[in-house]
């Protein structure tokens, strides 16, 4: 994956978040020319400066809502990884206008700035919540996904190409269910919304390496979906809070019983590769990658997955 960023200038929006920190950690090993962290929190940037003392690092304070600042930050950039988003579902349900400004208007600003600055490659991070969304977060991410795919048409004769990476829950990310369960287990009781619930699961490092692979392979307009395991919520509780009492509280507003990464509607324009699915754009021509077409009516959902994490595997992954 080193050639993806080696000798290049790379910018990460939302670079002080969980993904951004892991991306910086891995990308620095590949010796980029510049690695720009773009975020709005100066204290978190200060913390990162202390952690990553490297001559390639640059820190830009800015918000993706600020189009002018984005254009300034993207001058001379070769690769943009768009990881900035508001993503806490309950907070977004209560503050939907703010989610639109960051997740949708911010996406538009990133697209326009990248085209104006002739950035060669832009990849945006999506979520399983964007598939058949039932909450505001998912709706804004679905909108952003479609904007980044359409960005390839907006680029016209310019050289900028856009792609999307879509995956499930991230182990170790800030505010993840693992973090919540670890905190609540001290009370002796762990609340679970529904004992039947399943989720896709990926580690931060796997997510970063998958994004790098997408940057390497993208031709424009693809949505890359990794083949990742599922886990049962009760197995996660057994791994994180063994012996604790479980209290069923019912599904919260905007929450699904199972998650989906690829729907039957995507199947007609999706190809399967050994470690991933690639959803191709429908409304403009793109170079078809190698792989076989998925069967008609194919659906990739967390409850029908062929790969499952066991309690023992979850214990090894999440630690104490």
pLDDT in tens, 192-209: 999 999 999 999 999 999
Is 90 exceeded by the pLDDT of residue 288? Answer: no
Segments making up each domain of the chain, as ranges: 2-168+204-227+260-300
pLDDT at 98 over 70: yes
Q: Which pLDDT value is given to residue 133?
A: 94
- List pLDDT tens digits, range 149-177: 999 999 987 789 999 999 988 886 776 77
Predicted TM-score (pTM) of the model is 0.94
pLDDT band for 320, please (50, 70, 90 cuts): low
Q: What is the CATH class of 2-168+204-227+260-300?
A: alpha beta
SS (H, E, C) the chain: CHHHCCCCEEEEECCCCHHHHHHHHHHHHHCCCEEEEEECCHHHHHHHHHHCCCCCEEEEECCCCCHHHHHHHCCCCCEEEECCCCCCHHHHHHCHHHHHHHHHHHHHHHHHHHHHCCCCEEEEECCHHHCCCCCHHHHHHHHHHHHHHHHHHHHCCCCCEEEEECCCEEECCCCCHHHHHHHHHHHCEEEECCCCCEEEEEEHHHHHHHHHHHHHHCCCCCEEEECCCEEEHHHHHHHHCCCCEEEECCCCCCCCCCCEEECHHHHCCEEEECCEEEECCCCCCCCCCCCEECCCCCCEECCCCCCECCHHHHHHHHCC
Mean of all residue pLDDT scores within the chain: 92
Report percent pLDDT > 70 for the chain: 97
Q: Among 21, 99, 22, which residue's Cα sits nearest to residue 59?
A: 21
Greater model confidence, 160 or 282: 160
Give whole-number Cα distances, 286 to 154, 213, 278, in Å. Answer: 14, 18, 12
> Model confidence over 111-141: pLDDT tens digits?
999 999 999 999 999 999 999 999 999 999 9
Look at residue 166 in the predicted model and tell me its pLDDT.
97
pLDDT of residue 190: 87
Q: Which tokens go with 109? A: 């600003």
Residue 255 confidence (pLDDT): 85
From the candidates 8, 121, 129, 256, give the one annotated as an active-site residue. Answer: 129
Indicate if 312 belongs to the active site. Answer: no
């Amino acid at each position: 994956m080193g050639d993806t960023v080696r000798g290049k200038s790379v910018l990460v929006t939302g670079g002080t978040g969980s993904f951004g920190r892991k991306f910086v950690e891995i990308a620095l090993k590949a010796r980029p020319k510049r690695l720009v962290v773009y975020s709005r929190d100066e204290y978190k940037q200060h913390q990162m400066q202390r952690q990553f003392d490297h001559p390639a690092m640059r820190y830009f304070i800015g918000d993706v809502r600020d189009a002018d600042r984005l254009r300034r930050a993207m001058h001379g950039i070769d690769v943009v990884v768009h990881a900035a988003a508001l993503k806490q579902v309950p907070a977004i349900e209560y503050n939907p206008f703010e989610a639109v400004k960051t997740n949708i208007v911010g996406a538009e600003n990133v697209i326009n700035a990248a085209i104006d600055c002739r950035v060669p490659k832009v990849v945006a991070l999506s979520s399983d919540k964007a598939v058949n969304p039932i909450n505001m977060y998912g709706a804004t991410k679905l909108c952003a996904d479609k904007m980044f795919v359409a960005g390839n048409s907006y680029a016209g004769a310019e050289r900028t190409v856009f792609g999307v990476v879509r995956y499930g829950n991230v182990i170790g990310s800030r505010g993840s269910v693992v973090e919540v369960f670890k905190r609540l287990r001290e009370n002796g009781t762990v609340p679970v919304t529904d004992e039947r619930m399943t989720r896709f699961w990926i580690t931060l490092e796997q997510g970063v390496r998958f994004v790098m692979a997408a940057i390497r392979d993208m031709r424009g307009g693809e949505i890359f979906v990794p083949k990742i395991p599922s886990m049962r919520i009760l197995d996660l509780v057994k791994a994180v809070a063994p012996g604790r009492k479980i209290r069923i509280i019912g599904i919260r507003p905007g929450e699904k019983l199972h998650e989906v990464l690829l729907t039957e509607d995507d199947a007609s324009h999706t190809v399967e590769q050994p470690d991933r699915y690639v959803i191709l754009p429908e409304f403009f021509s793109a170079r078809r990658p190698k792989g076989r077409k998925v069967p008609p009516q194919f659906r990739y959902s967390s409850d029908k997955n062929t790969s499952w994490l066991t309690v023992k595997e979850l214990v090894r992954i999440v630690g104490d």
